[in-house]
């Protein structure tokens, strides 16, 4: 009754083609963004900002990037962690080596170099598909791990191989406190999510989806597979690279190659699979599931134990966290193989009838 588009008439093509054609959706999303910018800073404490929200925002951005490649273009990649690492280290090098480099330019340069590396490692996708491609992109992961550990130039010849940055100004404004960092990440995320959403609705996005659904058929109707696949790799790596730079600069402040290990690649792929392949919205759900759930479990289990008067040891909590997390992944994938985004759209369908289903 409340969630219906009755009476909303589209009088122009622009109105018909907007991202959210239903007015209620538009208002809901605008309210959500406004809440994230204004409400969240007023409500949450430093712990939530620094330990949960900032990592969530950055990994959401990375998941959006991976979703473009895996979800929209159908090219399974296990090299996302590597592209994050390239973004972080390239941004670090431009930031440290060039005097007076603005932070935003450094971050974008991280994205640029990640694009180059991503396109290079995307070349095998022209020949190999599916799981074979996943293995080929794994090479990117191992190569980057090796390069950042062994080649001293990338880490400014730091003896320990760990690099760090501080004092990050954006347009003269400092990005120091957790709140400033949160707002900065949120702004970057909003811009990139909007860009990504528009890209996947455009001609190029449709090309990616055509390649994903059946590449031979796509080639027959005149889509160039090389162009489509490499552009997907480029766009995806760019976004992932910027996310990597943010992860290093804003979240960790000091990092080593292990921060972008193969585990990170798997984590990003799981976010996309659990959140929903081929859905920008799903990237956010997936990131929330992977980032926030383990921490919530970790804090909830001792509290539950406390309720029944049981002291659970630290190790037991950690083991239980893994088990519960794994069980939830399996449960969600059985209940809804298309990911959390599909659950979301089912919910929306049901909402159209609510509260009078007859």
Residues that bind another protein in the complex, under the rule CB under 8 A: 45-47, 50-52, 55, 96, 149, 156, 159-162, 164, 166-167, 176, 251-256, 258-259, 261, 295, 298-300, 303-304, 306-307, 313-315, 317-319
Q: Looking at beta carbons only, is 120 or 270 nearer to another protein? A: 270
- Supply the minimum distance, in Å, between the C-beta of residue 45 and another protein: 8
- Supply the minimum distance, in Å, between the C-beta of residue 238 and another protein: 23
- Supply the minimum distance, in Å, between the C-beta of residue 252 and another protein: 5
Reading phi first (left if > 0) and then psi (alpha if -120 to 50, else beta), residue 157 is in left
Q: Looking at beta carbons only, is 96 or 351 nearer to another protein? A: 96
- Supply the minimum distance, in Å, between the C-beta of residue 309 and another protein: 11
Q: Looking at beta carbons only, is 97 or 348 nearer to another protein? A: 97
Q: Looking at beta carbons only, is 195 or 317 nearer to another protein? A: 317
In angstroms, the CA 26 to CA 23 distance is: 5
Q: Looking at beta carbons only, is 214 or 310 nearer to another protein? A: 310
Q: Looking at beta carbons only, is 134 or 291 nearer to another protein? A: 291
- Nearest Cα residue to 139 out of 275, 147, 167: 147
> Which residue(s) pair with 163 in the sheet?
255
Q: Looking at beta carbons only, is 238 or 247 nearer to another protein? A: 247
- Supply the minimum distance, in Å, between the C-beta of residue 7 and another protein: 35
The residue assigned the tokens 């990050």 is 168
Q: Looking at beta carbons only, is 100 or 222 nearer to another protein? A: 100
Contact yes or no for 231/113 (Cβ under 8 A): no
In angstroms, the CA 181 to CA 331 distance is: 35
- Supply the minimum distance, in Å, between the C-beta of residue 126 and another protein: 31
Please report the DSSP string for 110-151 in residue order.
HHHHHHHHHHHHHGGGGT--HHHHHHHHHHHHHHHHHHHHH-
Q: Looking at beta carbons only, is 120 or 325 nearer to another protein? A: 325
Element (H, E) at 174: strand 173-174
- Supply the minimum distance, in Å, between the C-beta of residue 49 and another protein: 9
The residue assigned the tokens 């120091």 is 176
Q: Looking at beta carbons only, is 17 or 162 nearer to another protein? A: 162
Tell the burial category of 23 from Cβ atoms under 10 Å away from its Cβ (0-12, 13-18, 19+). exposed
Contact yes or no for 70/269 (Cβ under 8 A): yes
- Supply the minimum distance, in Å, between the C-beta of residue 153 and another protein: 15
| 3-state class (DSSP) for residue 67 | helix
In angstroms, the CA 85 to CA 297 distance is: 28
- Supply the minimum distance, in Å, between the C-beta of residue 51 and another protein: 4
In angstroms, the CA 295 to CA 173 distance is: 32
Contact yes or no for 75/232 (Cβ under 8 A): yes
> Which residue(s) pair with 255 in the sheet?
163
Using CA atoms, how far residue 177 sits from 59, 77, 165, 190, 250, in Å, is 20, 35, 15, 20, 10
- Supply the minimum distance, in Å, between the C-beta of residue 259 and another protein: 6
- The single-letter DSSP state of residue 260 is G
């Amino acid at each position: 009754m409340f969630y219906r588009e009755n009476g909303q008439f589209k009088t122009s093509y622009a109105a018909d083609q907007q991202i959210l054609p239903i007015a209620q959706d538009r208002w809901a999303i605008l309210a959500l963004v406004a809440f994230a910018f204004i409400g969240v800073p007023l409500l949450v404490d430093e712990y939530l900002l620094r330990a949960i929200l900032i990592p969530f925002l950055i990994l959401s951005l990375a998941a959006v990037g991976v979703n473009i490649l895996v979800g929209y273009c159908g090219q399974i990649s296990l090299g996302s962690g590597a592209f994050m690492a390239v973004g972080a280290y390239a941004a670090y090098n431009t930031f440290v080596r060039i005097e007076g480099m603005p932070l935003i330019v450094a971050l974008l340069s991280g994205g640029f170099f990640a694009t180059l590396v991503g396109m290079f490692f995307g070349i095998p996708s022209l020949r190999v598909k599916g799981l074979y491609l996943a293995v080929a992109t794994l090479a990117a992961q191992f190569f980057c791990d090796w390069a950042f550990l062994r080649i001293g130039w990338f880490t400014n010849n730091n003896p320990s191989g760990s690099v760090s940055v501080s004092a990050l100004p954006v347009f003269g404004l400092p990005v120091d406190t957790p709140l400033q960092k949160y707002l900065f990440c949120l702004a970057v995320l909003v811009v990139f999510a909007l860009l990504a959403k528009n890209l996947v609705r455009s001609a190029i996005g449709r090309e990616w989806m055509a390649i994903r659904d059946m590449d031979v058929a796509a080639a027959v109707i005149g889509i160039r597979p090389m162009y489509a696949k490499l552009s997907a790799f480029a766009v995806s790596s760019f976004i992932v690279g910027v996310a990597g730079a943010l992860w290093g600069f804003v979240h960790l402040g000091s990092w080593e190659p292990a921060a972008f290990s193969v585990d990170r690649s798997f984590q990003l792929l799981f976010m996309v699979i659990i959140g929903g392949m081929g859905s920008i919205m799903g990237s956010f759900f997936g990131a929330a599931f992977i980032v926030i759930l383990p921490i919530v479990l970790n804090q909830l289990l001792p509290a539950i134990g406390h309720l029944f008067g049981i002291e659970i040891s630290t190790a037991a909590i950690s083991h239980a966290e893994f088990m519960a997390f794994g069980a939830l992944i399996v449960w969600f994938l059985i209940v809804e193989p298309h990911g959390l985004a599909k659950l979301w759209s089912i919910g929306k369908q049901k909402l159209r009838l609510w509260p009078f289903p007859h």
